[in-house]
Amino acid sequence: MEANRDLRHVPGAPFRFSRGSNLGATMPKMKTHKASRKRFRVTATGKLTRSSAGKKHLNSHKTGKRKRQLRAGVVSDTAIAKKYVKLMGGAN
């Protein structure tokens, strides 16, 4: 078998070539992680913002101060946050 076969003619090739001059240069494209996109936002500096946990239900026994503080978002810059930023197609 020939080792340098052209992938355009191989059935089940991992990606398809475009007809432009840069054959396969930008492929395969990275998909946005939709679940992360719904829950988080990326700031201009590349950090991750999310809403605070513990505010959705069972709020009647919580004090007003506690609920007021839970309204504010949380900014995260940890290693896990950087992973989610990359999944959402944010800053590399």
Beta strands in the chain (DSSP E): 41-42, 48-50, 74-76
Where exactly are the structural domains of the chain? Answer: 7-87
Query: Per residue in 53-79, pLDDT tens?
Result: 999 999 999 999 999 999 999 998 888
Per CATH, the number for 7-87 is: 4.10.410.60
String of DSSP letters for 38-58: HH-EE-TTS-EEEPPSS-SS-
CA–CA separation, 44 and 46 (whole Å): 5
The pLDDT of residue 33 is 87
The pLDDT of residue 88 is 85
Pairing state between β 74-76 and 48-50: antiparallel
CA–CA separation, 59 and 66 (whole Å): 10
Q: Is the pTM of this model over 0.85?
A: no
